[in-house]
């Protein structure tokens, strides 16, 4: 019987984390988010339902996507094995574009940058407690970054941004309507891309 070694538990941020220069990316293009029709797009969660937020983190996070595709799959594709989306669910959520009045400086936890900070890809795909521990260290870093740039767990060729609530006064949201009624061609492309059906 061959015993396959398991990875060791992911480490916490190193003791000199606040002295390290963090790898960053500057985001100037619009970000995208699907949100319930009755709420605003710019919402900073502290509930502990997401990867980087929590009641004891000391900040809120607004989860966004670099493009509409990743915003879609992170919103409607969270149930693994599901291959369809309901029209009612699509109509219940507004697509919003979020812009900033200055470049957003985000800590880049993708690619070789993971090695630079002493982490691995579990920060964006592993357990939430580890992700939150690292996110809190990033938030508290003396460089005061605006958020975190990371790979989508549901489509790791695409990227998400978690924005810290310290940037809220720099953001503006522009509602785009729902995909069915306002963007049928885009919806068709997204469904085809992910091999999803519409029910």
Tell me what the mean pLDDT of segment 5-21 comes to.
Answer: 87
Residue closest to 130 by CA, chosen among 141, 140, 121, 142: 121
Share of the chain above pLDDT 90, in %: 72
What is residue 54's predicted lDDT score, i.e. its pLDDT?
86
Tell me what the mean pLDDT of segment 5-17 comes to.
Answer: 86
Tell me what the mean pLDDT of segment 10-37 comes to.
Answer: 94
Residue closest to 52 by CA, chosen among 122, 109, 119, 132: 132
* Residue 80 clears pLDDT 80, i.e. is over it: no
User: Residue 105 domain-assigned?
Assistant: no
What is residue 4's predicted lDDT score, i.e. its pLDDT?
65
**pLDDT digit string (tens) for 34-68?**
999 998 999 999 988 889 998 888 899 999 999 99
User: Residue 1 domain-assigned?
Assistant: no
What is residue 43's predicted lDDT score, i.e. its pLDDT?
93
User: Residue 17 domain-assigned?
Assistant: no
Q: Judge contact between 20 and 113, C-beta under 8 A.
A: no
In the chain, which ranges are E strands?
24-27, 31-36, 61-65, 84-85, 93-100, 104-108, 147-151, 159-164, 171-175, 197-198
The domain containing residue 55 runs over which residues? 31-95+118-198
What is residue 17's predicted lDDT score, i.e. its pLDDT?
92
Name the 3-class secondary structure at 182. Answer: helix
Number of separate domains in the chain: 1
Q: Judge contact between 47 and 61, C-beta under 8 A.
A: no
Q: Judge contact between 178 and 91, C-beta under 8 A.
A: yes
* Residue 190 clears pLDDT 80, i.e. is over it: yes
* Residue 127 clears pLDDT 70, i.e. is over it: yes
CA atoms within 13 A on the CB side of 49: 7
What is residue 183's predicted lDDT score, i.e. its pLDDT?
94
Phi, psi angle pair for 170, to nearest 5°: -100, 0
* Residue 159 clears pLDDT 90, i.e. is over it: yes
User: Residue 37 domain-assigned?
Assistant: yes
User: Residue 19 domain-assigned?
Assistant: no
User: Residue 102 domain-assigned?
Assistant: no
Beta bridge pairs of residue 94: 35
The Cα 63–Cα 160 span in angstroms is 7
User: Using 50, 70 and 90 to split pLDDT, how confident is the model at 3?
Assistant: low
The Cα 152–Cα 32 span in angstroms is 14
The Cα 10–Cα 177 span in angstroms is 41
User: Residue 22 domain-assigned?
Assistant: no
pTM comes to 0.91
User: Residue 14 domain-assigned?
Assistant: no
């Amino acid at each position: 019987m061959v015993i396959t070694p398991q990875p060791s538990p992911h480490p916490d941020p190193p003791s000199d984390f606040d002295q390290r220069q963090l790898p960053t990316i500057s985001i100037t293009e619009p970000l995208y988010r699907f949100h319930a029709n009755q709420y605003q797009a710019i919402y900073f969660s502290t509930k502990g339902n997401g990867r980087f937020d929590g009641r004891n983190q000391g900040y809120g996070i607004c989860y966004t996507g670099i493009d509409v595709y990743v915003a879609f799959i992170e919103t409607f594709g969270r149930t693994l094995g599901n291959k369809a989306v309901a029209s009612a669910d699509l109509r219940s959520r507004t697509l919003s574009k979020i812009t900033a009045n200055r470049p957003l400086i985000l800590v880049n936890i993708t690619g070789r940058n993971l090695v630079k900070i002493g982490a691995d890809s579990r920060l964006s795909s592993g357990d939430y407690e580890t992700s939150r521990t690292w996110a809190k260290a990033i938030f508290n870093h003396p460089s005061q970054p605006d958020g975190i740039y990371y790979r989508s767990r549901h489509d790791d060729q695409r990227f998400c941004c978690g924005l810290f609530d310290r940037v809220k006064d720099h953001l503006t949201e522009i509602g785009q309507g729902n995909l069915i009624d306002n963007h049928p061609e885009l919806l068709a492309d997204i469904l085809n891309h992910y091999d999803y059906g519409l029910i």
